[in-house]
A = this chain, B = another copy of it.
Amino acid sequence: MESVKLGILGMGTVASGLINIIGLNNHKITEILNKNIAVSKVLVKDINKARNINLPQDVYTADAYEVINNKDVQILVELIGGINPAYEYIKAALNNKKHVVTANKALIATHGEELEEIAAENGVKLMYEASVAGGIPIIKAISENLAANEFEKIIGIINGTTNYILTQMAENGLEYEQAVKQAQQLGFAEADPSSDVEGDDAAYKISILSTIAFGQRINIEDIPKEGITKISKEDINYAKELGYSIKLLASAVKNNDEIELRVHPAFVPKEHPLSNVKNEFNAIFLKGNAVGELMFYGKGAGSLPTGSAVLGDIMSIVNSSYADNNEVKKDAKYKIVNNACKPYYIRFEVIDKPGVLGKIANIFGANNISLASVMQRQKNGNNTAPLVFITHEVGRKNIDAALEEINKFEFVTKTASIIMVESLK
């Protein structure tokens, strides 16, 4: 039987997952492809390191170009991550007329368009299903299965680390710092979790998804982002009480010729399917103008789920079942905006004395902010009390203007929490 020969850059979690699946499901894979999958060369840092991987020792090399320039290699699988040197390696491989499969979200989000052009010029394919939401086949769904649709909305929980942290805070009453520590112990968060908790990871992913969905390159700089570092257990408890979960959402919403993009923590109504996506799971909620609302749910990371996505791309290339229909048109059709009117949750700590509520409410009124609900609670030990508002739909500018005034009051002791409420309608 003929073999498909892979070159792999990196032998970490995802690469070892890929090798495991090829072994485990070999029967099914060869039945579908009518070909074996073989590994010709693998780039590693230390070729002498003991590995629990079923590959002959002589496939390993510490020289990337031994993989990229290897004559046998038909498909290069890039799993080292990061922009450099992955960018140079992939360019070289494409120019060598090798197909490329990658899980590299930072690279695709920043250089995807250029790399797709190089792939097209060389008549080879560049695929990156694994770069967004691990095992969930969301890129193929948007670019192929649902190609008949114009997309109106993509809202995703696409960072498993932050979803794990928020779920643990909500369900087990952990403080933010405790939840981060627990996520690190379980391998759901890195030693330095900042790319996840600050929203960068989710921003890369929504940039990739919206570029495919809207057929227009969406730059990472166009996506305002706010992470979850300021979310307190208190906000989570108020959310619960009001019938919401707090989720880190990455969203792209089209309105006529405008697209609004954002990564931000949001109140999500309990009855919405996104609200029940827990722990390390991811989900992407889509609205197409024909198909209506869809949601895809599954594991967004991990060795085998991400390996499954990489192998799916490899099998697509072998079966030539992948049309080049995700090639991005360069002409900008849509204007990128950031002016949505939404309800907001706002929490203050105030000194508990008469007249406080009235003064704050007056300023909201003066800024055209109308209130949907107000919760005033028992004093804390230190003579302050929490004061919680949910507004009706309003522009963020109005909120910021009101807060500037409100924060001048001497009775406001703590800067407010401000979290958008997503009705998801």
Chain A residues within 8 Å of B, Cβ to Cβ: 17, 21, 24-25, 28-29, 31-32, 129, 135-137, 140-141, 144-150, 215, 271, 273, 276-277, 288-299, 302, 304-305, 307-309, 311-312, 315-316, 319-323, 325, 329
Q: How far is the CA of A31 from the CA of B329 in the complex (A)?
A: 9
Contact in complex: A150, B319 (CB < 8 Å): no
A135 contacts B292, C-beta separation under 8 Å? yes
- Tell me whether A149 and B294 are in contact (CB under 8 A): no
The residues of B that contact A322 with a CB separation of less than 8 Å are 321
For the complex of A and B, the 7 pairs showing the least CB-CB separation, nearest first, are A137-B145, A135-B291, A148-B311, A319-B323, A290-B308, A294-B298, A321-B323
Contact of A312 with B146 in the complex, beta carbons under 8 Å: yes
B21, B141, B295: the one contacting A145 at CB < 8 Å is: B141
Q: Chain B contacts of A32 at CB under 8 A? A: 147, 325
Q: Which residues of B contact A292 (CB under 8 A)?
A: 135, 298-299, 302, 304-305
- Evaluate contact between A273 and B291: CB separation under 8 angstroms: no
Q: Which residues of B contact A148 (CB under 8 A)?
A: 21, 25, 29, 307-308, 311-312, 315
Q: Could you name 15 residue pairs across A and B whose Cβ atoms are closer than 8 Å?
A: A21-B149, A24-B150, A24-B289, A24-B290, A28-B147, A31-B215, A140-B140, A147-B312, A147-B315, A290-B307, A291-B299, A293-B298, A296-B296, A321-B322, A321-B323
Complex-state Cα separation, A147 to B307, whole angstroms: 12
Complex CA distance for A141 and B296, rounded to whole angstroms? 11
**Residues on B with beta carbons closer than 8 Å to the beta carbon of A149:** 21, 25, 308
On chain B, the residues within 8 Å of A311 by CB distance are 148, 290
Taking a contact as CB atoms under 8 Å apart, the answer to whether A144 and B150 are in contact is no
Query: 20 new A-B pairs (CB below 8 Å) besides A31-B215, A31-B329, A319-B325?
Result: A25-B148, A135-B291, A135-B292, A140-B140, A141-B141, A141-B145, A145-B312, A148-B307, A148-B312, A271-B276, A273-B297, A289-B304, A290-B304, A291-B305, A292-B304, A294-B298, A295-B298, A321-B321, A321-B322, A321-B325
Minimum CB–CB distance for A145 against chain B, Å: 3
**For residue A321, which residues in chain B have a CB less than 8 angstroms away from its CB?**
144, 321-323, 325
Specify the chain B residue showing the minimal Cβ separation from A322: B321
Closest CB-CB distance, A130 to chain B, in whole Å? 11
Closest CB-CB distance, A365 to chain B, in whole Å?
A: 37
A277 to B91, CA, bound (A): 45
Check B293–A299 contact: CB distance below 8 A.
yes
Closest to A278 in B: B271
Rounded to whole angstroms, the CA-CA distance of A144 and B319 in the bound complex is 10
Distance in angstroms between the alpha carbons of A136 and B145 in the assembled complex? 9
Q: Are A141 and B137 in contact (CB under 8 A)?
A: yes
Q: How far is the CA of A136 from the CA of B24 in the complex (A)?
A: 28
Contacts of A277 in B (CB 8 A): 273
Query: Which chain B residue shows the least CB distance to A21?
Result: B290
Q: Nearest chain B CB to A312's CB is how many angstroms away? A: 5
Contact A144 B140 (CB under 8 A): yes
Chain B residue numbers with a CB within 8 Å of A25 are 148-150, 289-290
